[in-house]
Amino acid sequence: RRQRFFDALVIGILLAVAFYHLIIFFYQRKYVPLLFSFLVLDIALIIMAFRGYLQEMFLPSHHVRNAVIVIIVLWSFFYLFHYLFSRLYLRLPTLLPTWDKIWLGFVLIEIAGSVVYIYMILSAGGLYNMNQDAFWKIIGYRLLSRIPLMFLSILVPILSLVKGNRAAWIYLIAMLAMIFQLFINDPNAFWGFVPIRLELDEYVGHTVMVLLFAMGIASQLKTLQEEKFAAEQAQLSERAEANRVRELDAFKSRFYTNITHQFRTPLTIIQGMASQIRAQPSTWINQGTEMILRNSRRLLQLVGQILNLSRLEAGQLPTHFVQNDVVRYIRYIIESFHSAAEHKNIRLQFETELKELVMDYDPDKLMDILSNLISNAIKFTQQGGVVRLNVQRRMRPEGVPHQRRRSGSNVERQETAGELLVPPSSDFRLPPAHSLHSRSGKPSDFRLPTSDFLCISVADNGPGISEEVLPRVFERFYSLPPAALPSPPEGGEWSPSVPSRRGEEAKPTEAVSKVACRC
């Protein structure tokens, strides 16, 4: 009863492992679990046939010689399934194609020996009726074929390890466990010099081998899943990059079209004025030269913008800081847009509690940033609307760490959700006290501490931006699709990439889609 209990335990474990990996095959369609399940099922059947359980269940009325034949057939299948499983697990066709063919040759020799063995048993009328000389010859022949198979099962995983297959470690340990068990069984059956219980020594090696193989397959499948996931992510990245390239090409096409038109207008005016001056010098000499100079300056500005665009793309756009009253400068910028706002009957409001603030800033970059934001706000706001520019001092938000990032300008940057926070220069130095005076003539004691920030926001009551495109509105070369804006005006698209690259990094908040707030 004790022997049958151990037999049932081992056979149950083997059958559970076999059916589990069969399910894995149907789920993942990988042939390694399928061949392994066949191998484990064959081992379980060998144990059942050797113990007589298979004959009790399926062949109760047949002669014992049939059980011997069944065991021989099952062992042939064992070496076949073991080879097929090993070649896929160890990747022999790729890593060791020559040894793969050698292993297959010895498996075929083993199968041929089994066929001869079965034929001799059937011809003699049974195993015990065979001639002893013939019996020992076939035993020797089979040993000669099986010893190379055992040797290959150790040598091949070592070579696979050398080739870089890390999964061969578990395979090698599993095969050593099984070969050790075979070494224990056969000498112990004749001489009994190894003190191991009989009901354990026949199964421990095979069971350990099966469990180690199962661990190796699980690790291999996990690696394959990770590689598959990485490949899918790489494919998604490639698609995203391809979409970005297409958007970039479309933007460049629009950009070159627009810049061509912008160059054509002043060039046409210059050419026309030159013709007028040549035809009627006395009439057009003053007005014509003034228009030529004005449009020449416009051409130089366009050339400068193109150069700045290339520098911006290369991350080499220089910054030139001055120390001055930034509030007064912002008032100057917004005043230049009053005529454009009045043309559309839009109220352009400047809101701030600060009378003045002396700090380091780049006038050109600040003008570009605010001009872009204000012009877009006016452009996308309907007639009778409101555009507000708000400037306020803010403390560092709670929970936001003090971080410094350098971009060649010694400017410390801090970003919070939806707002552009501009801190003072990291090497901020006040000029002498006598030079810090307010417009009233009194010394100004108002300055921006290093823990404070200046928040500049531009908001309007225009159509807003749909939520799905909010994360992309500050991307380089990104233009809002028609569906994102209900009524885009003619003559331009909102392109906030210049403010986001020339100034601080910014993110639109939820308010962008509701009140069209651009920070």
Question: What's the CA gap between 288 and 276, in Å, rounded?
Answer: 8
pLDDT at 514: 37
Question: Which residue type, as a one-letter code, is found at position 308?
Answer: N
Residue with tokens 């130095």: 429
Indicate the residue type of 236.
L
* pLDDT for 45: 87
Predicted pLDDT of residue 498 = 42
Read off the tokens for 172: 């090698």
Instruction: In whole angstroms, give the CA distance from residue 309 to residue 52.
Output: 85
Q: Residue written as tokens 């070159």?
A: 256
CA distance 322 to 139: 98
Instruction: With beta carbons less than 8 A apart as the criterion, state whether 494 and 477 touch.
Output: no
Give buried/exposed letters for 121-145 (b at 16+ CB in 10 A, else e): beeeeebeebeeeebeebeeebeeb
CA dist., res. 382 & res. 481, Å (int): 19
Residues of the chain with pLDDT below 50 are 64, 188-194, 196-200, 400-448, 486-519
Encode 402-460 in three state secondary structure: CCCCCCCCCECCEEECCEEEECCECCCCCCCHHHCECCCCCECCCECCCCEEEEEEEEE
- Identity (one letter) of the amino acid at 332? Y
CA 458 vs CA 133, 282, 515: distances in Å: 103, 49, 11
Give pLDDT, residue 388.
92
Pair 48, 70: CB distance under 8 Å: no
The two tokens of residue 505 are 């990094």
Closest listed residue to residue 224, CA positions, set 478, 30, 445:
30
Kindly state the helix (H) or strand (E) to which residue 26 belongs, with its residue range.
helix 2-28
**Look-up of token digits 């002498």:** 432
User: Considering only CA atoms, which of 265, 276, 489, 288 is closest in space to residue 375?
Assistant: 489
Distance CA 271, CA 274 (A): 5
Structure tokens at 354: 């600060």
Per-residue b or e along 285-306, where b marks 16 or more CB atoms closer than 10 Å to that residue's CB: eeebeebbeebeebeeeeeeee
pLDDT at position 158: 92
Question: Which is it for strands 517-518 and 419-422: parallel, antiparallel or unpaired?
Answer: unpaired
Q: What is the pLDDT of residue 352?
A: 92
Pairing of strands 414-416, 386-395: unpaired
CA torsion 471-477-478-480 (nearest 10°) is: 140
Task: Please answer whether residues 465 and 519 qualify as being in contact, where contact means their C-beta atoms are separated by less than 8 angstroms.
Answer: no
85 vs 170: CA distance, rounded Å: 14
* DSSP assignments along 347-368, one per residue: EEEEEES-S--EEEE-HHHHHH
The 10s digit of each residue's pLDDT in 388-419 is: 999 988 776 555 444 443 333 333 333 333 34
